[in-house]
Structure 1
Amino acid sequence: MPIVTLPFAELVDRFGPVPDGVELDVWDVEGPYDRPDDVAITLLPFYFAGRHRWQFVHDLPNLRLLQLPSAGYEHALPHAPAHAQVANGRGIHDDETAELAVGLALTSLREIHTFQADRTAGVWDVRTTRSLADRRVTVVGYGAIGVAIATRFEAMRCDVTVVARTAREQDGRHVHAFGDLPDLAGRTDVLVLITPLTDETEHLVDADLLAALPDGALVVNVARGRVVDTDALVAELERGRLSAALDVTDPEPLPAGHPLWSTPNTVLTPHVGGNTDLSVPRTLELVRRQVSALAAGHPFANVVHG
């Protein structure tokens, strides 16, 4: 009987009915699984670091699907066994990450973080801040999360431009190519990054692109830290020319003493874009679909490799 392993007992308890001929089991990938020949689908733990534990996944000779709980998959592809398909968590974190992107922008522009610091200090300082409405927002990355982000910024009455690897028409929007970014930067007030990390997107936002942004522009990164040249961003922040609102950094976790702990005009959250109370139910929705596909002999969803 094919086994589907889930990393936490809570997921098994909340899964609901299982198709005939399929078994659920708990396996956190912290050690070898005791019935390796029977595992057909494995859901990795959230933010699975792997390291030596990847060997336990390779020891599953009949694994058909390695399911990731994250939209990003660059961390898994170099280690995934060749005989299994890999699926990402597209759809799980769309709403969560889009909410955070807008929240980070609002926190920075409306200076919510500094008002909270004033509260701690017992200071009542009424001052004018910047509105998000009417800002020119460029969203870099136009997958499912990018669509969710663009839609929310439009609802906030922003002028939204979207950019992806290739130019196209989608959802009634013109999608610009990465090559258009240098021209778009000069008319961007808020640059939102949600593109996957690939060889093409590593340091996509480099010193030249940052320099092309107008004075006072805001960089919001909910993608991966290495999409931005951190040293170049730090230089712009220390000059006070740009602002940043970051959920991801390079390196990550951010080590003690790193300049981003103390740069001005900076809002920082510790990679929590997909970490809300929606994560578990949305993950279960996707895994239920994959298990149904397994039982019916249908193709898996969200396959990114294999």
Structure 2
Amino acid sequence: MAGGMKDKTATVLVSHEEDDAVGRRIIQLIPGVEVVAYDPDATVLDDTQRSADILVPSYRGSHRPIPLITQLPRLRMVQLLSAGVDEWIAYIPANVTLASARGAHAGPVSEWVISAILTQMRQWPALVRFQDSETWAHRLFSADTLAGKRALIVGAGSIGTAVAARLSPFGALSTLVARTARDGVYSWSELSRLIPGHDIVVISAPLNDETRGLMGRALLALMDDGALLVNVGRGQIVDTEALVAELRSGRLRAALDVTDPEPLPQGHPLWKAPNVIISPHSARTVPGTNRLCYEVAAEQIQEFIAGRRPANAIER
């Protein structure tokens, strides 16, 4: 739906937390906006907060304000700071616009992908363990190079295309896959044909009914021996049990920023699986990402209150 706030002052709820201070400053600069701070962990809103037209969930733990939606009778828009919308979409009324911060995470997350690929190919986990044991490991490990490698990137949005751009200077070739084929991008209905022959498979797709369990046992089995699976999308896109089996067999390697379940509990077999590195859903977490998210959010809010459909509004 298009925006409906033109010629009206819009009240925007922005978290009172320190990570969101930059957002309060940025959004307050939008003409026709009044920023009201709120506590994402609150159970009850005051009268001023309840009059809000737009809700911006907190930068960290963005799911926390979901219960507050029922206390916002004038709500017209929810502007997320995440690229994905899967945590929120089921809770947003049909007459409320839901928009993501698509584009803000491309730089930080694609940088994480490159670092993870190089970490696995250059065998840094093994080298750190050799260092811990004070072992000069010359010729005791086998490193690899990105030059000449082929990467299949599942998800051709801002993150996926940024990954492809960052791989290119290393001499790696990228194949992009998305839900719908377009110029230079294949449809993921062709995944079973495309996966063989690629050294790296990067998951950067959003989680939805079509992608849930997409990388299951059958597609994982099609990956080349020794291939590397990198997941920065959502953990539920990959069949965890099937992946653990492939890792234990020594056939595949992985680098995961997201897992299923998440957070990964103590004792889960992924922790002890060989050939995997795991980060705690922190690929975007570097200085300045919150500012990038709020700059995109401000653009979307400004479009909405001007009566236009924001570019990142979700089709439902």
TM-score normalised by the chain length of structure 1: 0.92
Q: Is the 8 A contact 1:58 1:81 kept in 2?
A: no
Partner of 2:283: 273
For 1:198 and 1:293, locate their aligned partners in 2 and report how far apart those are by CA, in whole Å. Answer: 26
Higher relative contact order (CA 8 A, sep 6+): 2
Q: Does 1:222 align with 2:236?
A: no
The alpha-carbon deviation at position 42 of structure 1 amounts to 1.3
2:299 aligned partner:
289
Q: Tell me, what secondary structure is at the counterpart of 2:159?
A: helix
Structure 2 gaps of 5+ residues are 1-8
Aligned length, in residue pairs: 301
SS of structure 2 residue aligned to 1:282: helix
Q: Tell whether the 8 Å contact from 1:96 to 1:278 is kept in structure 2 after alignment.
A: no
1:111 deviates by 0.7
Q: Which residue of 2 aligns with 1:138?
A: 152
- How far apart in 2 are the matches of 1:213 and 1:44? 38
Summarize deviations over 1:110-152 as a string: whole Å, max 9, x none: 1112212222222220234011111111001101111111111
Give the Cα separation in 1 of the matches to 2:222 and 2:306: 53
Q: Which residue of 2 aligns with 1:98?
A: 110
1:207 offset after TM fit, Å? 1.1
Q: 1:182: how far off?
A: 1.1
- Aligned-residue CA RMSD (Å): 1.9
Percent identical: 37
Q: Does the 8 A contact of 2:82 with 2:293 survive in 1?
A: no
Partner of 2:4: none
Gap change, CA 1:93 and 1:126, over 3 Å in 2: same
CA deviation profile, 1:6-51 (whole Å, cap 9, x unmatched): 1135235642762444211211332232124531221101354647
- 2:201 touches 2:230 (CA, 8 Å); kept in 1? yes
The answer as to whether partners of 1:218 and 1:245 remain within 8 angstroms in 2 is: yes
In 1, distance between residues paired with 2:205 and 2:121?
22
1:305 offset after TM fit, Å?
4.3
> Using the alignment, how far apart are the partners of 1:12 and 1:181 within structure 2?
39
CA contact (8 A) 1:221 1:246 kept: yes
Query: CA 1:296–1:184 in 2, change beyond 3 Å: closer, same or farther?
Result: closer
Amino acid at match of 1:289: E
Gaps of 5+ in 1: none
Q: Which amino acid is the alignment partner of residue 77 of structure 1?
A: I
1:257 matched to 2:267? The reply is yes
Q: Do the aligned residues in 2 keep the contact of 1:57 with 1:81 (CA within 8 Å)?
A: no
CA change 1:86–1:11 in 2 (3 A) is same
Partner of 1:43: 56
Structure 1 counterpart SS, 2:144: coil
Contact 2:156 2:205 in 1 (8 A): yes
- Cα separation, 2, equivalents of 1:12 and 1:176: 37
Aligned equivalent of 1:6: 14
Which of 294, 298, 301 is 2:308 aligned to? 298
C-alpha distance in structure 2 between counterparts of 1:19 and 1:151, whole Å: 33
Q: Are 2:137 and 1:149 equivalent residues in the alignment? A: no
Query: Residues of 1 paired with 2:63 and 2:291: CA distance?
Result: 24
> Given the alignment, which residue of 76, 97, 101 partners 2:88?
76
- How far did residue 291 of structure 1 move? 4.0
TM-score (norm 2): 0.89
In structure 1, the residue matched to 2:34 is 23
Task: Tell whether the 8 Å contact from 1:290 to 1:300 is kept in structure 2 after alignment.
Answer: yes
Which residue does 2:196 correspond to in 1? 186
